[in-house]
Amino acid sequence: MIEPGDRKILSQECCDHIGRLLQELDRRFVKCHLRDNLSILFDLNYLVDHKETVDQPEYGRNALNYVREKYKNLPSFDQTAVQAEWELIKIPLAEYLKTSITQKRKHFWKSFILFKQTVNEQFSEQFKNILVLLSIYLLSASNTAECERGFSAANLVQTNGRSRLMVNTLGVLLNVRLLLTDDIRSTRCQFVAEKAFESWNDYESKRRYNRTKLLIDVADDYEPTTQRRLNVQKRKIIPNSDNEGQPKKKKVKAIKCANRCGKVIASDDPEQVNAIQCCHQVEFYKWVDDNCSRWLCNKCRIELGVSTDSTNWFCDDCIDMHSAEEDSDYDDK
């Protein structure tokens, strides 16, 4: 059970929280001068609060100057004629605000325009520039909502769905959905989608979705077919006349020294003429069946004091076998 003192504290904390929330909203969402000036001209709540001053000569002039400068490059919009239109429409607008208090606010502008059209058949043509600005104001909220819905849909696809779609692919799909005239659930669209997927998933097509045309460009009698790669002949390499007579260099066969010094022994290296191979290759030793290709470089041969005609140097792979043979010969004796 909440005590009266606790309720007061809770109420105060709620008020403080709401105050901080409003401050944070003001900080994050900066006031838009364009929206504020459009509200002065067309926002019904603002007009009702200032209905006594709407017909004054100075009302709305600064706001109109800002808005008409903003949309001066808009096609079929005359920024000079709109000033005269605003001065003419203010007086009947103020009278209509005072006499139509019971009118529903969401239908205010519709009823006002219909009322003026019954009195003046040329109303739409006479005040066409003001009506352009009014349309921009009335459609701005719905345009913003559509953008937010599209952004939310993209987030759902990219995050919650954990899709691997790239941004370009997602843009193509959204354009297809936006420009598609038929119902996405219709039989024709389902048929085209299935054939497109089969073509996209085909091995020879390699998923080349870049070649897929937008559905808006497809005729009604279009039948999807599998796209295949064009057989384009590759460009032939023109031989250079300077290199025709030059023979190719033969690959040099080289092995590293078995003493692990890092020296490479090549058959065409003059410094390695006196390099020796593992001595088990000599016909005197018959106990090795495989062919050993271990070599000792000339530098290591000199450091180890091994002569070029020696039969006592063995690589690590054969030294154990040679020692075992010597031990067996000693035991026989």
User: Is the dihedral angle over the CA atoms 8, 11, 17, 22 positive or is it negative?
Assistant: negative
pLDDT at 83: 92
**How many whole angstroms separate alpha carbon 199 and alpha carbon 52?**
68
Domain shared by 108 and 129, yes or no? yes
- The mean pLDDT value of the chain amounts to 73
Domain boundary among 197, 230, 263: 230
Residue 161 lies in a domain: no
Residue 129 — very low, low, confident or very high, per pLDDT cuts 50/70/90?
very high
pLDDT of residue 62: 92
3 and 49 housed in the same domain: no
- Name the one residue in this structure whose structure tokens are 């929330």: 21
The predicted structure's pLDDT at residue 87: 92
Q: Cβ distance 207 to 227 under 8 Å?
A: no
Query: Of 97 and 228, which is predicted with more confidence?
Result: 97
Report whether 293 contacts 253 (CB < 8 A).
no
The number of beta carbons lying within 10 Å of the beta carbon of residue 42 is 22
Does a structural domain hold residue 154? no
Return the number of other C-beta atoms located less than 10 Å from residue 201's C-beta. 9
Answer whether residue 325 shows pLDDT above 50: yes
Q: Return the bridge partners of 277, or none.
A: 295
pLDDT digits (tens, 9 = 90+) for 258-310: 776 767 766 667 666 666 666 655 545 554 444 555 677 777 777 777 776 66
Give domain status of residue 310, yes or no.
yes
Q: Is the pLDDT of residue 37 over 80?
A: yes
Query: 136 and 42, same structural domain?
Result: yes
pLDDT for the residue 66 = 93
pLDDT of residue 213: 47
Q: pLDDT at position 193, please?
A: 76
DSSP secondary structure letters along 155-217: HIIIIIS-----HHHHHHHHHHHHH--S-TTSHHHHHHHHHHHHHHH-TTTTT-GGGPPPGGG
- The reply to whether 48 and 23 lie within a common domain is no
What pLDDT was estimated at residue 234? Answer: 62
Question: Average pLDDT of 5-30?
Answer: 83
Say if residue 98 is in the same domain as residue 23: no
- Residues 283, 271 share a domain: yes
Q: Is the pLDDT of residue 64 over 90?
A: yes
Q: Is residue 313 exposed (0-12), middle (13-18) or buried (19+ Cβ within 10 Å)?
A: buried
Looking at the domain assignment, is residue 159 inside a domain? no
CA dist 87 and 10 (Å) reads 53
Rounded to 5 degrees, what angle do the CA atoms 153, 159, 165 make? 80
User: Which of 253, 254, 258 has its CA nearest to residue 295?
Assistant: 258
In terms of domains, do 268 and 226 share one? no
Mean pLDDT computed over 139-162? 68
Give this prediction's pTM. Answer: 0.41
Its domain, for residue 120, covers: 33-143
Residue 153 lies in a domain: no
Whole-number percent of the chain with pLDDT over 90: 13
Backbone dihedral region for residue 60 (phi beyond 0: left; psi -120 to 50: alpha; all else: beta): left
127 domain residue, yes or no: yes
Count of domains forming the chain: 4
Identify the band that residue 89 occupies on the pLDDT scale cut at 50, 70 and 90.
very high
pLDDT of amino acid 147: 73
Which has the higher per-residue pLDDT, 290 or 58? 58
Shared domain check, 96 and 51: yes
Instruction: Based on the fold, state whether residues 89 and 100 are members of the same structural domain.
Output: yes
- What pLDDT does residue 8 have? 80
Over range 41-66, report the average pLDDT: 90
Give the per-residue pLDDT at 209. Answer: 46
Positive or negative CA dihedral for 10, 15, 18, 24? negative
Residues 281 and 303 reside in one and the same domain: yes
More confident site: 11 or 160: 11
What is the H or E stretch that residue 71 is in? none
Whether 76 maps to a domain, the answer reads yes
pLDDT attached to residue 167: 72
Where residue 31 falls among pLDDT bands split at 50, 70, 90? confident
Tens-place pLDDT, residues 158-215:
555 555 667 777 777 777 777 777 777 778 777 877 777 777 666 665 544 444 444 4
CA distance 227 to 207: 10
**Does residue 60 contact residue 103 with C-beta atoms inside 8 Å?**
no
Domain co-membership, 23 together with 40: no
**Dist. CA 209–CA 306, nearest whole Å:** 71
Evaluate whether residue 326 is within a structural domain.
Answer: yes
- Is 137 found in the same domain as 47? yes
Residue that the structure tokens 């006196």 belong to: 274
